[in-house]
Structures are given as C-alpha cells and as structure tokens.
Chain A
Amino acid sequence: GQSLEQPSEVTAVEGAIVQINCTYQTSGFYGLSWYQQHDGGAPTFLSYNALDGLEETGRFSSFLSRSDSYGYLLLQELQMKDSASYFCAGRSDTGFQKLVFGTGTRLLVSP
C-alpha cells in the first residue's frame, strides 16, 4: 500500500523560509507532487519531482530522495498569502498510476 506522512502544522513569519517534509511508504512509486489548498478552495498543483534532486519554481522549490523515501517543499520569502494547506502526493508506478495524497500540512504565516 501507500501512505504519505506530513507534519500537521507549521508556523512562520513573513519573509522567512519554511520547509514542509513528506515521508512515504509505498510498494511502488512514480514521483512526488505538491499541491496547495487555501481555506474553502480546491487543491492546486505546485510542483512535481520524478527524479531525485531539487526542482525550483519561483519562490517554491521541491526536493525528492527516492532512496530515503523523503521529499520536501521549500517556500522562500514567505508572504501572508502563502497561508494554506500543503499536500504531498505520490503516484504509484503500477497500472493506473493513481494519485494518493498525504495527510496535509497547514502553514500559518504571521506578520
């Protein structure tokens, strides 16, 4: 089976850097995605790591280590609008490649 674990909540101040970790146990794995969800909204795609290493997209970066079954999302120059829930998601490497989500991390950014 597949399960992805994240811290439930992270707090930080504007302008800071924060890292949200994701550890997973899976019998087959195709890559790690990250999604952002604001309160009352739908999850929206942020990034995807197919291979080990760091992917950078503006203020957000995502990292994957498949040997360690671990990834993280790094948010730099935090803004108040970054307050949201963040989910990692794994895609199985068998058959349909269904998308399985982590438990989610709520990020609270304060002034």
Chain B
Amino acid sequence: DADVTQTPRNRITKTGKRIMLECSQTKGHDRMYWYRQDPGLGLRLIYYSFDVKDINKGEISDGYSVSRQAQAKFSLSLESAIPNQTALYFCATSESGNTEAFFGQGTRLTVV
C-alpha cells in the first residue's frame, strides 16, 4: 500500500459543483501539503498544515479550502469549481525538521 494515498485519482466535474479531494498517510508525519501542478508552472502550494490545529494558506489558496481531520488526513475542497481549476493535484507529507517530502500519486481534476 502507498504511504500517501489520494482519492479519487481522476475526476470530471461540472462548473459550480463542490468537490473534495482526499489525502491520507500512513507515515506518521505531522506536516501535510496540497499542491497544484499545471504545465510550465511547476508545483504551486495551495495550503499546508503543521498539525490538526494549524492550517496555513499557500500562494494560490483562493477558491480552495482544506480540513485536517486527523494527523493522517488532509482534505482539499473546491466550493464552487471553475474550469481554470482543471489541473493535477498532489498531496505531500513531511516530518518536522526533515527536508524530504513524500507525494501521493496525484488527482487529475477536470472542470467542464
């Protein structure tokens, strides 16, 4: 089983719909991140969390919200999806003080 699991792996949704992307980890890491990947733009940070009581906005948080339900679970929501949110989304984890981040396999989201 993967250490960082994202669900769903692929999703097509309509403009205006609410959608939630889920991430769970078995690594026991305290830090979790959500990134968005678009061609030519690299990985851009949406939100990050130090622990269940700590949520921080990244560089492109508008239109997104997150929930850290437990140390192992970090969900990303699009309250009202729009076509320019079509992208590949990655969840990642890292341990406090550790430089290596571990990524999930990604969720390919298409908003039509």
Contact = CB atoms under 8 A, between A and B. Distances in A.
11 contacts: A44-B103, A45-B101, A91-B99, A98-B48, A98-B58, A99-B33, A99-B94, A101-B44, A103-B42, A104-B40, A104-B42
Interface of B (DSSP majority class): strand
Given A42-B90, A43-B90, A101 B99 contact: no
A100 interface: yes
Interface size class of B (residues with CB under 8 A): 20 to 34
Contacts of A103: 40-42
B97 to A, nearest CB: 8
Nearest to A32: B99
Interface residues of A, number: 22
Interface in A3-58: 8, 31, 33, 35, 41-45, 48, 50
A57 B100 CA distance: 15
Interface in B55-112: 56, 58-59, 90, 92, 94, 99-106
A98 B101 contact: no
A48 B43 contact: no
